[in-house]
């Protein structure tokens, strides 16, 4: 048919043009016209589907790449804890105050919370304990009206939640014989609208409507505080009908990067630290798994081939505060002096306030020694990147062995004297190894819990480290089968991954992923869903999508919006790696023509950005072609620029700031204890030097000083870091969304002073 | 054999080499290869073929799918798909339809020369004539083309709106 049909149609249609007298076309002609239109339309839909697919790919790749960077940040915090001396000589270590439990002068916190006074002018909800239905109703309506709950009530609520959770086991066993259908929800990520929609469609939590929320209540979305407050309130109100599992974002270090910490600090200026401290405790006390009727296992991430439910029932779960704080190891198991020093460094990050005195000792070494110690750990590592896989199975490695050679500046020669199991600690763009003795109890606990919270199912059999995320495992259908069989289970329900339809089945129907944050990447990107499970234990799925506009967006508009958003994010990535990319491109362009082939271009992008994306398909959005069909690589960076004219800085310094902008913002927020939006020039210099040392970037002190001086706009010795960050925000010169006539919901980077 | 060689040679004269074509096909294919094992669901083949610049009819697609599907498994492997699709592209077997022809096709259906089609009219044609739409397809088409309150499809605008490619830049 193919060619034949279209030619016939063309001829016949052309004939029609000339023959004006034909009023009613023959049935054959009508049919041919219809076929043409149908074909044209189907092609259009296919292309739309294509765009939707790769837009999704972009979002996911960037998200997971971001999560990998997160681990690098956590090691930087560890590093800072060891090396960061107080800047003005008085006051305790600023960092450990935030990250470590503070031994507080207040003996009875509960009494202290009760003593906080709420001013008359406060118009928000006032709740009392024990909570009643009217309290939760008050919270619901208050949050719908954008009100903020007073810190006193938050502290009390968290305290009560902590007391309740302490009584719960690690694995909660539920039975449907006493309950009606149970509703199981996945990730919410601070999306209050989705939670409210679920409550609206499905009913509020009650004896008739029990719920289980499977982790990741906070981070990313703007209303994490409200979401988690409601969940905890219902937990206190109906402890038998409301159930919560811990997710990988119920973790104070993840919160530092993904927005929860910031949200709390912005909403609670006086008691922010105290609230965060309580959250840290509460999160670590959340149960890690739930089993329904002894048949259905529900965890946030997944499982590994080493998952041992009996062992998990017995661990002290509250000890694993964060997946990103490596477990402590005991002194007795060490044998060499060098290991002792390194182990002591690990310990000092975990121990309470007395630990900060350790870090003083460490940091009192001369700068040269300090630097050498960092260099030492990377050069003396027993495992090079290629053999890290052997250490992964025994020890608790959280890094990706997949490091392109262009990015690891320090090769790791093997050294026979080191202990067998090593911990690969990523220091931003390089890897260094911290040798650990054989895994003590704590490490096992940590690994088992991390596996439960971070793993993803894959179709290939077997179990391998989850290099994408940098934590947990990829587990195959055989792993699932074995575990389910071992415990007489029939189904695993988990969350952790965004799915376009809100849910997805895999492993032959033995694993269900349930995700409850609709429009997760962008408006229209995906639906949310929840599961209802009755006594017969057959899951039923309910989907929904939050819509902020009254006008229903067509599929085309949704795809266009999501695509625009994804492409912006992708272009920012390109921009942030500009000089590396240019170097890569120029390597293929010896004659300095300004262009290279599409293949070469794709190769460079793949190697440097480490994002597995269909670059050729994306090419029209990213770069221009020359008349002969090769790529003008400079055009990749054309329609973007800095927020405001940049101060005169060394080019690689500027790019570094662009790339690590989010991390820098977090660090500044930590340093800025009084939330003034200002830090001293000295603090800035000190932090920046540490950061660049850590990155292994050779930036001389004068460049840093110049930068500090140039952004100290009023020359008063303090830097408004909000303005600083504004300068390093990537601005898109061609704003797609404005072209579409839609309002851009820009993320506001505001310092504390604006609220 | 000679014909294949001829096609290859002809292919070489175009700016795209066979190797480029292979890469294009592989990239499009991999977008739907969810298990990372070089197979896709046969139902995604039409999307892949369309996205490679082709305008096949449904019958054409069924023919291709029949050729590349692994028995009746419902899956297609890249090794089978690649040579078949390469040939399709080298032969330019399903060339694009010029926009004017789409417009003319609409005009054929618009018997009274109104400049627009009613919702009912379009639905009747699309679901009863040619290679009929499913209900879902019809719904989506109306959602896109029926952007006004009067329930009319101004096809001239529609063709301009959906354009040719749907690519933004």
Positive or negative: CA dihedral A661, A667, A672, A675:
positive
Assigned token pair, A135: 């309290």
Angle at A482 between CA A477 and CA A486, to 5 degrees: 150
- Going by the DSSP 8-state scheme, the letter that residue A249 receives in this structure is T
pLDDT at A107 over 60: no
Instruction: Specify the DSSP element, H or E, that contains A432.
Output: strand A430-435
Per-residue pLDDT band for A76 (boundaries 50, 70, 90) equals low
Q: Å from B91 to nearest chain A CA?
A: 11
Closest chain B residue by Cα to residue A628: B15
What is the rounded CA–CA span in Å between residue A298 and residue A182?
13
The residue of chain A with its CA nearest to that of B88 is: A2
- Residue B77 phi, psi dihedral angles, 5° rounding: -100, 145
A657-703 per-position pLDDT tens digit: 777 777 777 667 666 656 667 777 777 777 777 676 666 666 667 77
Q: A56: which chain B residues are within 8 Å (Cβ-Cβ)? A: none
Q: Which chain B positions have a beta carbon within 8 Å of A620's beta carbon?
A: 167, 169
Contact between A447 and A463 under an 8 Å Cβ cutoff? The reply is no
Please answer yes or no on whether A43 and B50 come within 8 Å at the CB atom: yes
Q: Catalytic site residue A694?
A: no
Question: What are the beta bridge partners of residue A686?
Answer: none
Query: For residue B119, is the peptide bond before it cis, meaning its omega torsion is within 30 degrees of 0?
Result: no
As given in the structure block, the two tokens for residue A453 are 């919270």
The dihedral over CA atoms of A580, A583, A586, A590, expressed in degrees to the nearest 10, equals -160
End-to-end CA distance of chain B: 41
Residue A311 — very low, low, confident or very high, per pLDDT cuts 50/70/90?
very high
Q: What is the mean pLDDT of residues A512-533?
A: 91
- Binary contact (A16, B168; C-beta < 8 A): no
Which of B30, B107, B141 lies closest to A41 in CB terms?
B141
DSSP annotation string for chain B: -HHHHHHHHHHHHSSS-HHHHHHHHHHHHHTT-TTSSSEEEGGGHHHHHHHTT----HHHHHHHHHHHB-TTSSEEEHHHHHHHHHHHHHHT-SPPPPHHHHHHHHHHH-TT--SSEEHHHHHHHHHHSSSPPPHHHHHHHHHHH--STT-EE-HHHHHHHH-SS----
Considering just the CA atoms, what is the radius of gyration of chain B in Å?
19
pLDDT at A477 > cutoff 90: yes
Largest CA distance in chain A: 101
C-beta of residue A71 within 8 angstroms of C-beta of residue A324: yes
Are A6 and B125 an interchain contact pair (Cβ–Cβ within 8 Å)? no
Q: Give the model confidence (pLDDT) of B124-149 as tens digits.
A: 989 988 888 988 888 888 877 876 67
Dihedral over Cα of A612, A661, A688, A340: its sign: negative
- Give chain B positions within 8 Å (CB) of A35: 57, 129-131
The sign of the torsion formed by the CA atoms of A479, A484, A485, A486 equals positive
Q: Which of A5, A51, A629 is nearest residue B57 as measured by Cβ atoms?
A: A5
CB A29 to CB B93 under 8 A? no
Which residues, other chains included, contact A167 with Cβ-Cβ below 8 Å and sequence gap of 6+? none
Q: pLDDT digit string (tens) for B73-83?
A: 788 999 999 99
Rounded-to-integer distance, Cα A127 and Cα A80, Å = 40
**Torsion angle (degrees, nearest 10) of CA A246, A250, A251, A252:** -150
Q: Do A1 and B60 touch (CB under 8 A)?
A: yes
B58 touches B50 (CB < 8 A):
no
Across the interface, which of A1, A48, A614 has its CB nearest the CB of B166? A48
User: Three-state DSSP class for A489?
Assistant: coil
| Predicted pLDDT of residue A300 | 97
Q: Which of B59, B93, B102 sits opposite A37 (nearest CB)?
A: B102
Work out the widest C-alpha separation in chain B, in whole angstroms: 59
Catalytic residue among A243, A249, A252, A507: A249
pTM of this prediction exceeds 0.80: no
Enumerate the residues of chain A whose CB falls inside 8 A of the CB of residue B131: 34-35, 38-39
DSSP element (H, E) containing A384: none
ipTM topping 0.90: no
Distance, in Å, from the CA atom of A665 to the CA atom of A679, rounded to the nearest integer, reads 12
d(CA B127, CA A38): 10
The residue of chain A with its CA nearest to that of B164 is: A44
Q: Which one of B23, B35, B131 has the shortest CB-CB distance to A35?
A: B131
With b for 16 or more beta-carbon neighbours within 10 A and e for fewer, the A673-692 pattern comes to eebebbbbbebbbbbbebbb
Considering only CB atoms, A34 lies closest to which of B55, B59, B130, namely B130
Taking a C-beta distance cutoff of 8 angstroms, is the pair A679, A717 a contact?
no
Which residues from A are below 8 Å from B144, CB to CB?
Answer: 554-556
Q: CB–CB of A198/A225 below 8 Å?
A: no
Beta bridge partners of A632: A595, A624
Report pLDDT digits (tens) over A161-219: 999 999 999 999 998 876 679 999 999 999 999 999 999 999 999 999 999 999 999 99
Helix (H) / strand (E) element for A475: namely strand A473-475
Instruction: Decide: B88 and B60 in contact? Cβ < 8 Å.
Output: no
The residue of chain A nearest to residue B122, with distances taken between CA atoms, is A34
Order across the sheet with A540-544: list the strands: A242-244, A211-213, A182-185, A528-533, A540-544
d(CA B152, nearest CA chain A) in Å: 17
User: What's the CA gap between A116 and A125, in Å, rounded?
Assistant: 15
pLDDT band at residue A333 using 50, 70 and 90 as cut-offs: very low
Closest CA to A489 of A509, A473, A507, A510: A510
Contact A47 B51 (CB under 8 A): yes
* Helices B18-30 + A615-622 axis angle, to 10: 100
Q: State whether B105 and A54 contact (CB < 8 Å).
A: no
Chain B residue numbers with beta carbons less than 8 Å from the beta carbon of A17 are: 104
Q: Averaging pLDDT over each range in A65-79, A356-370, A381-395, A689-703, which range is the top one?
A: A689-703
Arithmetic mean of pLDDT, A615-643: 82
| Cα–Cα distance, A210 to A199 (Å, whole number) | 11
DSSP A490-549: -EEEE--S--TTSEEEETTTTEEEEB--TTSSSTTS--EEEEEE-TT---EEEEE---SS
Dihedral of the alpha carbons of A704, A708, A709, A715, in degrees to the nearest 10? -160
CA angle A327, A328, A330 (to 5 degrees): 140
Contacts of A460 in chain B (CB under 8 A): 35-37
Q: Do B31 and A614 touch (CB under 8 A)?
A: yes
Site from B53, B96, B125, B129 to mutate, A interface, most A CB atoms within 10 angstroms = B129
Listing DSSP states for A131-192 in one string gives --HHHHHHHHHHHHTT----HHHHHHHHHHHHHHHHTS-SEEEE-TTSSSPEEEE-B-TT-H
Summarize pLDDT for A526-544 with one digit per residue, the tens.
899 999 998 888 999 999 9
Contact B108 A50 (CB under 8 A): no
B137 contacts A42? CB cut-off 8 A: yes
Could B23 and A42 be called an inter-chain contact, meaning their C-beta atoms sit closer than 8 Å? no
* Residue A387 confidence class, pLDDT cut points 50, 70, 90: very low
Report the residue from A1, A37, A598 with minimal CB separation from B105.
A37
Collect all residues of chain B within an 8 Å Cβ-Cβ radius of residue A25: 108, 111
Q: Is-contact A317 A251, C-beta < 8 A?
A: no
Give the separation between CA B110 and CA B117, rounded to whole angstroms. 6
Please report the pLDDT score of residue A294 as a whole number.
Answer: 93
C-alpha distances (whole Å) from A370 to each of A62, A119, A379, A521 are 34, 50, 15, 42
């Amino acid at each position: 048919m193919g060619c034949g049909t279209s030619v016939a149609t063309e001829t016949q249609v052309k004939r029609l043009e000339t023959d004006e007298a034909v009023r009613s076309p023959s049935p054959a002609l009508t049919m041919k016209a219809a076929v043409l239109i149908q074909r044209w339309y189907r092609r259009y839909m296919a292309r739309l589907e294509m765009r939707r697919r790769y837009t999704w790919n972009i979002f996911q790749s960037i998200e997971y790449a971001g999560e990998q960077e997160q681990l690098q940040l956590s090691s930087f915090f560890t590093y800072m804890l060891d090396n960061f001396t107080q800047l003005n000589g008085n006051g305790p270590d600023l960092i450990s105050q935030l990250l470590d439990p503070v031994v507080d002068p207040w003996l009875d916190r509960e009494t202290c919370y009760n003593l906080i006074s709420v001013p008359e002018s406060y118009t928000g909800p006032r709740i009392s304990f024990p909570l009643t239905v009217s309290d939760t109703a008050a919270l619901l309506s208050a949050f719908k009206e954008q009100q903020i709950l007073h810190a006193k009530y938050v502290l009390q609520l968290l305290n009560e939640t902590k007391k309740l959770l302490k009584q719960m086991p690690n694995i909660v066993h539920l039975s449907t014989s006493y309950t009606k259908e149970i509703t199981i929800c996945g990730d919410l990520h601070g999306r209050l609208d989705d939670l409210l929609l679920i409550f609206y469609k499905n009913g509020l939590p009650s004896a008739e409507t029990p719920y289980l929320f499977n982790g990741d209540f906070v981070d990313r979305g703007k209303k994490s505080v409200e979401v988690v407050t409601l969940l905890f309130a219902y937990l206190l109100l109906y402890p038998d009908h409301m159930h919560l599992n811990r997710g990988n974002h119920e973790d104070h270090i993840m919160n530092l990067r993904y927005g929860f910490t910031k949200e709390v600090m912005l909403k609670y200026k006086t008691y922010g630290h105290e609230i965060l401290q309580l959250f840290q405790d509460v999160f670590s006390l959340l149960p890690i798994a739930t089993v329904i009727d002894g048949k259905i296992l529900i965890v946030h991430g997944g499982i590994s081939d080493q998952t041992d439910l009996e062992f998990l029932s017995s661990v002290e779960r509250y000890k694993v505060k964060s997946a990103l704080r490596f477990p402590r190891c005991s002194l007795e198991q060490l044998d060499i002096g060098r290991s002792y020093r390194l182990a002591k460094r690990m310990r000092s990050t975990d121990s309470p306030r007395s630990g900060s005195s350790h870090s003083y000792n460490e940091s009192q070494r001369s700068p040269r020694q300090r630097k050498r110690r960092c260099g030492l750990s990377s050069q003396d590592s027993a495992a090079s990147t290629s053999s890290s896989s052997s250490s992964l199975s025994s020890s608790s490695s959280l890094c990706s062995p997949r490091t392109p050679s262009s990015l690891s500046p320090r090769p790791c020669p093997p050294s026979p004297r080191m202990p067998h199991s090593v911990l690969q600690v990523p220091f931003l763009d390089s890897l260094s190894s911290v040798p650990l003795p054989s895994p003590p109890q704590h490490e096992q606990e940590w690994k088992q819990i991390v596996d439960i919270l971070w793993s993803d199912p894959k179709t290939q059999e077997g179990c391998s480290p989850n290099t994408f995320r940098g934590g947990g495992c990829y587990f195959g259908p055989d792993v699932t089968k074995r575990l389910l069989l071992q415990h007489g289970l029939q189904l695993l329900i988990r969350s952790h991954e965004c799915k376009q339809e809100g849910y997805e089945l895999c492993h032959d129907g033995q694993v269900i992923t349930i995700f409850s944050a609709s429009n997760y990447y962008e408006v229209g990107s995906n639906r949310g869903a929840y599961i209802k499970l009755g006594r017969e234990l057959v899951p039923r799925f309910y989907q929904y999508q939050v819509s902020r506009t009254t006008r229903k967006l067509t599929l085309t508009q949704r795809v266009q919006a999501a695509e625009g958003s994804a492409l912006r994010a992708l272009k920012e990535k390109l921009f942030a790696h500009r000089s590396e990319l240019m170097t890569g491109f120029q390597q293929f362009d010896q004659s300095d023509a300004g262009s290279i082939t599409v293949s070469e271009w794709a190769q460079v992008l793949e190697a440097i950005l480490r994002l597995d994306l269909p670059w050729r398909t994306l090419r029209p959005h990213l770069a221009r072609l020359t008349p002969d069909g090769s790529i003008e690589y400079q055009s990749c960076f054309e329609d973007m620029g800095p927020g405001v004219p940049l101060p005169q800085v060394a080019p690689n310094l500027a790019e570094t700031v662009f790339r690590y902008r989010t991390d820098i913002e977090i660090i500044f927020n930590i340093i800025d204890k009084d939330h003034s939006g200002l830090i001293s020039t000295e603090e800035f210099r000190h932090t920046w030097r540490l950061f660049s040392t850590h990155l292994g970037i050779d930036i001389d002190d004068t460049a840093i000083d110049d930068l500090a001086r140039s952004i100290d706009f009023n020359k008063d010795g303090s830097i408004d870091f909000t303005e600083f960050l504004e300068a390093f925000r990537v601005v898109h010169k061609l704003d797609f969304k404005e072209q579409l006539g839609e309002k851009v919901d820009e993320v506001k980077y505001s310092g504390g002073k604006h609220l | 054999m000679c014909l294949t060689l001829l096609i290859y040679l002809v292919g070489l004269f175009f700016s795209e080499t066979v190797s480029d074509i292979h890469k294009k096909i592989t990239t499009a294919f991999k977008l739907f290869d969810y298990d990372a094992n070089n197979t896709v669901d046969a139902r995604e083949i039409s999307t892949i073929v369309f996205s490679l610049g082709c305008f096949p009819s449904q019958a054409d697609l069924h023919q291709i799918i029949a050729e590349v599907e692994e028995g009746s498994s419902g899956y297609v492997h890249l090794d089978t798909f690649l040579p078949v699709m390469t040939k399709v592209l080298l032969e330019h077997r399903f060339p694009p339809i010029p926009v004017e022809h789409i417009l003319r096709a609409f005009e054929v259906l618009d018997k009274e020369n109104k400049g627009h089609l009613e919702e009912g009219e379009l639905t009747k044609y699309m679901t009863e004539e040619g290679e009929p739409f499913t209900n879902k397809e019809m719904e989506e088409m109306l959602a896109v083309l029926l952007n006004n309150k009067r329930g009319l499809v101004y096809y001239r605008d529609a063709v301009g709106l959906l354009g040719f490619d749907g690519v933004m830049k």
